[in-house]
Structure formats: structure tokens, C-alpha cells
Amino acid sequence: MTFKVKLDTTTVIDIGDVRTRTFGALSGSAGVLYRLAEGVNLGVTAARAFRTPTYVELYSQGPHVAAYAFEVGNPDLSIEAAVGFDAFLRIRGSVLDAEVAFFSQWIDDYVYIRNTGETSPQQLPIYQFTGENARLIGAEGSVEWRPARSVRVSGNASYVHATNTVRHEPLPLIPPLMGNVALRYGLTDWFVELGLRAAARQDRVGEFEDPTDGYVVPHAAAGYRWRLWQRTHSFTLRLDNIANQTYYNHLNRVKSIMPEAGRGISLLYRVDF
């Protein structure tokens, strides 16, 4: 069976024959952990992994309104085969925990969805699933400082630099430098927390992809927990995007027409069994 869609007078996208696909590959990893001092460890890992394309990536052929796209699959996609290396330094102490890691991955037939720059009859941007070689390098880190028994300051950050090594251009839908910081005060049965979620501007974008501005979004939370009937119960009240700021998440497929959620409040009740 073959599906075709006629987009205009000059363009026909044909996903080819819909057929059974079988995939197989080997994966494994090896690592070394070295203790530099009490609570300080250095590690290095090498790994080979694979991922099979999903049925959506293989056989899509039509509008995906929730993603504001007309998606076209590719039945000829191969498995993603990645070789990666990472190194990390981890510190565990009485008042400070910290970790920083660096990674590099070479991926054959990396599957991603590419904006073709064309428009469907429904006036949706046409996206094609594509498999091409890529390289991803990056770093991430986290820290937690406990200056007092009831006070905790924490933060994390991450960055990825991703390149399509066939087209020699940036990959789309790659997050910018981003991170979180939070100050938490809590005792055994209650806590309050104030934090910031931030991202830098992302202008290293794929073809036909929109850049996004940076943002800093504050949030707050408070919680209370207690024991009842031999179970731990808790209430958590959370307030997100306190300033009701308009901002865009670069990983959101509909970022060109829709910002992230505005101010929001949620109340969670939880029972641990």
C-alpha cells in the first residue's frame, strides 16, 4: 500500500510502501570510577546504544493539529546507533553536594522532524521525519548547599550543542543554556520554597526554525505533611509563573503561535503507601 499527498501543483510527498520493518542492534557500556578523596569521585563512561524509529516516525501522513504541523513519515528510516563518552566529577559532603558532567555523542541516522518550509492544503507547516548523522556535545551540573539544618540552596544547569554533520547545520529543537535555582526552608513536617527557572536565548536554530528569547520565571511552593493511619499524608501548594510572564519554550513545537502557560496555582494531596 502506498500513500501520497498532493501539496500544490509542483510538490508531491510520497512516504513509499507501508511495510513491516525489523530492527536489531547491540548495545552496551563500560565505565571507570576513581575515588579522588573522601566523598569525591571521578568517573568516565563509554557506551553504544540504539533506538528504533517509532511507527509515528515511519508512517505518519497527515495533519497533527495539536503540534500545528502536517507530519510526513519515512518508512526507510534506520535505527539510531550512538557511540558516546561522558566524564563526571561528583562531590558528596555534610553541607555540600555537587556534580558536573561532560558528554559527547556521535549518532548515525539520528531521527528528527525537519521543517520543509512548505505548507499543506490545511495551511499547516509540513514536517518530514529524517534520519541523518549528528553530533551532540554538552555539559550539565547541579549543586546543593545546606548552610543550616533547615535551609537548602540548590541549582542546576545544562547546555547542548548539536550539529547535523551531513548538512553541516544546527539540529532543530535543541534546548538553549538553561537552569533552575531554589531556596528552601523546611522542618520535619512543613516547608516553603522560592525558585527561578531560566533559559538563555536560542538563536542556533535549524532550517525554518524560529529563535526564542531568554526568560527568567519565578515560582513558589509550600507544603505540609503528617502521619495518619500509619500513612504519610501531604499537601503541596504551588504557584508557577508568579509574574504572569509571556515566554516561549524552545522545545515546544507550537512556539511560533503559542507561548507557555501564564500564572498557575495547583494544590496536590498525596498519600504514601
List helix spans (H) across 91-244.
none
Q: What pLDDT, on the 0 to 100 scale, is given for residue 12?
A: 45
Q: Both 108 and 210 in a single domain?
A: no
Q: Both 208 and 140 in a single domain?
A: no
**Of 151, 174, 197, which marks where a domain is finished?**
174
For residues 212-216, give the mean pLDDT: 96
- Domain span at residue 117 reads 1-174
Q: Both 116 and 195 in a single domain?
A: no
Q: Both 238 and 142 in a single domain?
A: no
- Inside any domain, residue 243: yes
Evaluate if residue 204 carries a pLDDT over 90. Answer: yes
Q: What sign for the dihedral angle of Cα 67, 71, 75, 79? A: negative
> Whole-model pTM?
0.84
What is the spatial distance between Cα 186 and Cα 224, in angstroms, rounded to a whole number?
10
- Inside any domain, residue 181: no
For residues 140-169, give the mean pLDDT: 96
Q: Both 197 and 170 in a single domain?
A: no
Q: Both 195 and 272 in a single domain?
A: yes
pLDDT tens readout for residues 94-149:
999 999 999 999 999 999 999 988 988 888 899 999 999 999 999 999 999 999 99
Q: Both 207 and 159 in a single domain?
A: no
User: What is the total count of domains within the chain?
Assistant: 2
**Of 123, 151, 174, which marks where a domain is finished?**
174
Q: Both 212 and 232 in a single domain?
A: yes
What is the spatial distance between Cα 103 and Cα 113, in angstroms, rounded to a whole number?
23
What pLDDT band is residue 183 in, cutting at 50, 70 and 90? very high
What pLDDT band is residue 3 in, cutting at 50, 70 and 90? very low
What pLDDT band is residue 18 in, cutting at 50, 70 and 90? confident
Q: What pLDDT, on the 0 to 100 scale, is given for residue 5?
A: 45
| CATH code of 10's domain | 2.40.170.20
What pLDDT band is residue 253 in, cutting at 50, 70 and 90? confident
Contact 85, 103 (CB under 8 A): yes
What is the spatial distance between Cα 112 and Cα 128, in angstroms, rounded to a whole number?
8
- Inside any domain, residue 128: yes
Q: Please tell me the least confidently modeled range out of 64-68, 92-96, 162-166.
A: 64-68
Q: Both 193 and 113 in a single domain?
A: no
- Inside any domain, residue 111: yes
Query: Exposed/middle/buried for 185, CB within 10 Å: 0-12, 13-18, 19+?
Result: middle
- Inside any domain, residue 239: yes
Q: What pLDDT, on the 0 to 100 scale, is given for residue 24?
A: 82
Higher pLDDT: 104 or 10? It is: 104
What pLDDT band is residue 13 in, cutting at 50, 70 and 90? low
**Of 174, 194, 213, which marks where a domain is finished?**
174
Q: What is the DSSP letter of 202?
A: B
Q: Both 253 and 164 in a single domain?
A: no
- Inside any domain, residue 6: yes
Contact 83, 130 (CB under 8 A): no
Q: Both 149 and 213 in a single domain?
A: no
Evaluate if residue 202 carries a pLDDT over 70. Answer: yes
